[in-house]
């Protein structure tokens, strides 16, 4: 390592220094690194490992270094390799040998493990709040359009009528699962590793529980080897982020389709769309497309970290430096995507007349006709076959179901009666009156339940 000269007779090659350095990207850990060092210094003073005066001088100086960084006055020197040494070197420059006492009873191995856990906890908290904001946007739009009817699709073919609110609440449910995954990830990240040393613990009478309490951790790590080499919580975050981005990408794909001239279900706000450099008429759903594209980027970071970890022996290996850039990028990508999608959904204008018009296409009430025959005593599989032949006939004749005469209906089954005319889009929706169904009453309840969920935190 370029700055630790103890057993080396010459400095590291410039290429090695640059290759080895993580300061260009881990400098963003400065708040967490300084918070961990302040807690560590307080503990050293409390335990009598260093004097209380030295502990106070160290903590006060660390606070001043934090202020320098925040005000842009701190010089980050690449030869110092990482944020830990950048802060410690500045500390030593300011207060001399007293600053050298800070690293008593710790290693950079447990120090970086601490910093990453502190950063991850903060990132998870912000992520959950961002997901809640996105859920609120979906809920607001669903509530404002709770009577809007649209086609539901399977295989991207018209299937059955649903309420737009029901469709949007499907994404609310996905995001709720994402929140639960991130909460679980927080529990795994909420373990204080400092005191593990390089790999075997430390030979000082430290108080790990004190440090944990100072930093808000619920518990301390139970195995020093595991503590310095564990990155499961980062992988869990990236896996949860990958799933979340997949959900966002599915919505993105639907927005791209819905905003096309062929569907024309939604108009995106001008602030969340772009134009063309050559075609004046274009209003492109670039936000949705970019979110769809960035999903692959998050997948890549997950696979990179899994691949990095798969062959590492215990305990710390320099490979673990590769945990940071991908993780930081995943956090930044997910948070920016959630923010912009929240804005896009909030300002989107749906077109009820167009969604309702689309419902009239594709013999969307065919399943209801089969259910009607089944209700008259026909076995459902037989009823399905009857209606399938009826649909084929209708397509050949260029007719819709309401245009059928009763004689035409009865060509396919004598069970058809005048009450078949009562089958409508509205009756189809109302018939799905089961928990989780698209019946208006069920959707109204789902909206109320979603509001309570958000209000509950």
Active-site residue, 218 included: no
359-441: CATH, from 1.10.1740.10, 3.90.245.10, 3.65.10.10, 1.10.40.30: 1.10.40.30
Q: What is the pLDDT of residue 93?
A: 98
Q: What is the pLDDT of residue 7?
A: 73
Specify the CATH class of 14-104 in words: mainly alpha
Instruction: Give every CB contact of residue 119 below 8 A, 6+ residues apart in sequence.
Output: 28, 29, 32
Active-site residue, 155 included: yes
| pLDDT tens digits along 73-109 | 999 999 999 999 999 999 999 999 999 999 999 999 9
How much of the chain, in percent, has pLDDT values that exceed 90?
A: 93
| pLDDT tens digits along 337-347 | 999 999 999 99
**Mean model confidence pLDDT for the chain:** 96
Q: How confident is the model at residue 3 (pLDDT cuts 50, 70, 90)?
A: very low
Which of 218, 260, 276, 427 is catalytic? The answer is 276
For 218, which DSSP code? Answer: S
Which range (1-5, 240-244, 445-449) has the least confidence? 1-5
| pLDDT tens digits along 29-50 | 999 999 999 999 999 999 999 9
* Tokens 């790990």 belong to residue: 208
Residue 285 to residue 271: CA distance in whole angstroms = 11
Domain with CATH 1.10.275.10 in the chain: 14-104
Q: How confident is the model at residue 5 (pLDDT cuts 50, 70, 90)?
A: low
pLDDT(310) > 80:
yes
pLDDT(17) > 90:
no
pLDDT(6) > 80:
no
Q: Where do the H-state alpha helices sit in 28-146?
A: 30-46, 52-70, 83-95, 97-100, 108-144
**Segment 56-60 mean pLDDT:** 98
* Tokens 């903060």 belong to residue: 122
pLDDT(329) > 80:
yes
Q: Which two tokens stand for residue 79?
A: 């030869």
Domain with CATH 1.20.200.10 in the chain: 109-148+163-357
For residue 315, whether the previous peptide bond is cis, meaning omega lies within 30 degrees of 0, is: yes
**CATH fold group of domain 109-148+163-357:** Fumarase C; Chain A, domain 2 (1.20.200)
Residue 135 to residue 139: CA distance in whole angstroms = 6
Evaluate the CA torsion angle 398, 403, 406, 410 in order and state its sign: positive
Domain with CATH 1.10.40.30 in the chain: 359-441
Angle CA 369–371–372, to nearest 5: 60
Residue 259 to residue 272: CA distance in whole angstroms = 12
pLDDT(385) > 60:
yes
Residue 389 to residue 370: CA distance in whole angstroms = 11
pLDDT(1) > 50:
no
Instruction: Give every CB contact of residue 113 below 8 A, 6+ residues apart in sequence.
Output: 193, 194, 196, 227, 228, 230
Nearest by Cα to 294 from 236, 257, 233, 335: 335
Q: Where do the H-state alpha helices sit in 310-405?
A: 323-347, 352-359, 366-375, 380-397
pTM value > 0.85: yes
Q: How confident is the model at residue 4 (pLDDT cuts 50, 70, 90)?
A: low
């Amino acid at each position: 390592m370029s700055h630790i000269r103890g057993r080396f007779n010459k400095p590291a090659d410039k290429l090695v220094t640059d290759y080895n350095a993580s300061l260009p990207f881990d400098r963003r850990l400065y708040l967490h690194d300084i918070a961990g060092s302040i807690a560590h210094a307080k503990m050293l003073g409390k335990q009598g490992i260093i004097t209380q005066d030295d502990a106070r001088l160290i903590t006060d100086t660390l606070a001043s270094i934090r202020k320098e960084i925040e005000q842009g006055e701190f010089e980050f020197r690449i030869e110092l390799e990482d944020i830990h040494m950048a802060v410690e070197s500045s500390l030593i420059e300011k207060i001399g040998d007293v600053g050298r006492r800070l690293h008593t009873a710790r290693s950079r191995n447990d120090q970086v493990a601490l910093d990453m856990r502190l950063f991850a906890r903060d990132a998870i908290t912000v992520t959950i709040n961002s997901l809640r904001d996105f859920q609120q946007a979906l809920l607001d739009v669903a509530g404002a359009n709770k009577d809007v009817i649209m086609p539901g699709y399977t295989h991207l073919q018209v299937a059955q009528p649903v309420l737009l609110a029901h469709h949007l609440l499907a994404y609310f449910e996905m995001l709720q699962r994402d929140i639960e995954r991130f909460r679980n990830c927080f529990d795994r990240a909420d373990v204080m590793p400092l005191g593990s040393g390089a790999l075997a613990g430390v030979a000082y009478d430290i108080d790990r529980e004190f440090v944990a309490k100072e930093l808000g951790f619920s518990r301390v790590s139970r195995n020093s080897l595991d503590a310095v080499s564990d990155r499961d919580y980062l992988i869990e975050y990236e896996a949860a982020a990958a799933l979340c981005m997949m959900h966002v990408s599915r919505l993105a794909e639907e927005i791209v389709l819905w905003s096309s001239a062929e569907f024309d279900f939604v108009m995106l706000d001008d602030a969340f769309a772009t134009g063309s450099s050559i075609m004046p008429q274009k209003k492109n759903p670039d936000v949705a497309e970019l979110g769809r594209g960035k999903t692959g980027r998050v997948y890549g970071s997950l696979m990179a970290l899994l691949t990095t970890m798969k062959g590492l022996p215990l305990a710390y290996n320099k490979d673990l430096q590769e945990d940071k850039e991908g993780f930081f990028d995943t956090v930044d990508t997910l948070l920016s995507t959630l923010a912009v999608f929240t804005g896009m959904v909030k300002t989107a204008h749906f077109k009820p007349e167009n969604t309702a018009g689309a419902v009239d296409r594709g013999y969307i009430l065919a399943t209801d006709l089969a259910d009607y025959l089944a209700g008259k005593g026909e076995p459902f599989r037989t009823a399905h076959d009857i209606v399938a032949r009826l649909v084929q006939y209708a397509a050949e004749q260029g007719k819709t179901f309401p245009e059928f005469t009763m004689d035409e209906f009865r060509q396919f089954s004598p069970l058809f009666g005048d009450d078949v005319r009562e089958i409508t889009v509205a009756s189809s929706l109302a018939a799905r009156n089961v928990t989780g169904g698209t019946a208006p009453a069920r959707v109204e309840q789902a909206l109320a339940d979603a509001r309570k969920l958000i209000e509950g935190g």
